[in-house]
Structure 1
Amino acid sequence: MVPDRRELRASHDDRDRVVERLRVAAGDGRLTAEELDERLETALTARTYGELEVLLRDLPAESAPGSLAPVTVTAVPAKDLVRLQATSGNLERGGPWAVPRRLEVETTSGNVTIDLTAAAIAHPELDLAISVRSGNVRLVVPPDVMVDVDAVTVRSGSIRHRVHPDPALPRRLTVTMSGSIRSGNVVVRGPRRGFWAWLLRRQPKSK
């Protein structure tokens, strides 16, 4: 008897390829952060092809997990300067994007999220200048990125630094944040646990 393909056991490579598909789909705006987190948790613990296929059914160009080719993200040249401005509403820079040498962020009434989790980092340092008149700036960084917020002036608001670099990992990037907060908040946090668990598992093990 030939078993149903959906009941066949998935390998670590199968799970990794599905996780990559989910990450790219989230970067394209097809999945929300909550949906990505839920699907990553399921993908990382999936036992069969059937459990993995369910996660890709509503995404384009789906195919069986066993035949998925690794996703290749086209490299985007990093700019020297990028400016982000939010006058109202929400502005997010995340997914696969090229980190510049200097990033200027201004918000007069809105929220700005800068996610470095899946970003292409070409330079060892990022000069992040912020001007928060009213609103919030969220910086999402993995543990191999260090963030220095000592040069930020706070008049009315707060800075919450919730992550610290992992000394066991080589540092990829140092972010030096400067500027002012007149009325608002800056939050520095790590990625969601499910996604970072996947990233840790992909790190080469030291001998």
Structure 2
Amino acid sequence: MSNHAPEMRASHADRDRVVEVLQAAAADGRLGAEELDTRVERALNARTRGELSALTADLPARPEAKEVLVIRQAGGKYVQDGRWPVPPRIDVHTQICRVTLDFTRALITSNLVRINAEMMHGRLRLVTPPGTVVDAGGLNLAFSKAKVASKDFSADAPLHIEVSGSLLHAKLIERRGRG
């Protein structure tokens, strides 16, 4: 979550991410049960991103994402889900492979993620939290299909994913997960 707009209204997804950070801190022994309960209650009632940031300011930063995640695979399946740090760029170079990138519980470090997909005979499945905007306008499709849930650009969307590159006999599918 970005601190550049502390007075911006918090979303349910923003609150949920802070609760997850607090729960992880408690699991590490950084917060006691009573303090965890207090902070979780404050997080669930927070109105702004600034209020949420204050709840985690004394906790270690989330794991740093690499600058680029490179996925190279021939055949099979590649899945990235759970609490993974999302870099600002993801390169997908696959043949005969099904790739799933689940952003619903991910540690998102930037509100813009660029995916460069070079896929032959495969599927790229994006599981996105509510409010996400996926722009597949930069994709070159040859005997392929792109199906995205978000067709309208929204400047205040919590996450923008731009997909570019080329698909040959492949599919891009966006599915909305729970936020």
The TM-score with structure 2 as length reference comes to: 0.62
Change (3 A) 1:134 1:77: same
Change (3 A) 1:122 1:184: same
Shift of 1:142: 1.1
Gap runs ≥5 in structure 1: 1-15, 25-66, 200-207
Change (3 A) 1:161 1:83: same
- C-alpha distance in structure 2 between counterparts of 1:83 and 1:73, whole Å: 26
Q: Give the alignment partner of residue 173 of structure 2, picking from 180, 187, 200.
A: 187
Matched, 1:173 2:159: yes
- C-alpha distance in structure 1 between counterparts of 2:96 and 2:60, whole Å: 33
- C-alpha distance in structure 2 between counterparts of 1:137 and 1:74, whole Å: 30
The answer to whether the 8 A contact 2:139-2:164 is kept is: yes
Matched, 1:128 2:115: yes
- C-alpha distance in structure 1 between counterparts of 2:150 and 2:107, whole Å: 20
- 1:77-101 residue CA offsets vs partner (Å, 9 max, x unmatched): 0211110122111110111011111
Q: Equivalent residue for 1:105? A: 92
Identical positions, percent:
25
The answer to whether the 8 A contact 2:65-2:87 is kept is: yes
Q: Give the alignment partner of residue 80 of structure 1, picking from 67, 70, 83.
A: 67
The answer to whether the 8 A contact 1:121-1:172 is kept is: no
Q: Secondary structure at the match of 1:183?
A: strand
Q: Equivalent residue for 2:79? A: 92
Change (3 A) 1:91 1:73: farther
The answer to whether the 8 A contact 2:83-2:105 is kept is: yes
Indicate the RMSD between aligned Cα atoms, in angstroms: 3.0
Q: Give the alignment partner of residue 136 of structure 2, picking from 149, 174, 177.
A: 149
- C-alpha distance in structure 2 between counterparts of 1:182 and 1:150, whole Å: 16
Shift of 1:146: 0.9
Q: Secondary structure at the match of 1:95?
A: coil
The TM-score with structure 1 as length reference comes to: 0.54
- 1:25-71 residue CA offsets vs partner (Å, 9 max, x unmatched): xxxxxxxxxxxxxxxxxxxxxxxxxxxxxxxxxxxxxxxxxx9x779
Q: Secondary structure at the match of 1:182?
A: strand
Q: Which runs of 4+ in 1 moved over 3 A?
A: 69-74, 163-167
Shift of 1:189: 1.3
The answer to whether the 8 A contact 1:149-1:177 is kept is: yes
Q: Secondary structure at the match of 1:186?
A: strand
- C-alpha distance in structure 2 between counterparts of 1:159 and 1:166, whole Å: 16
- C-alpha distance in structure 2 between counterparts of 1:166 and 1:109, whole Å: 31
Change (3 A) 1:151 1:122: same
Gap runs ≥5 in structure 2: 1-15, 25-33, 41-58
- The AA in structure 2 aligned to 1:128 is I
- C-alpha distance in structure 2 between counterparts of 1:160 and 1:144, whole Å: 16
The answer to whether the 8 A contact 2:132-2:150 is kept is: no
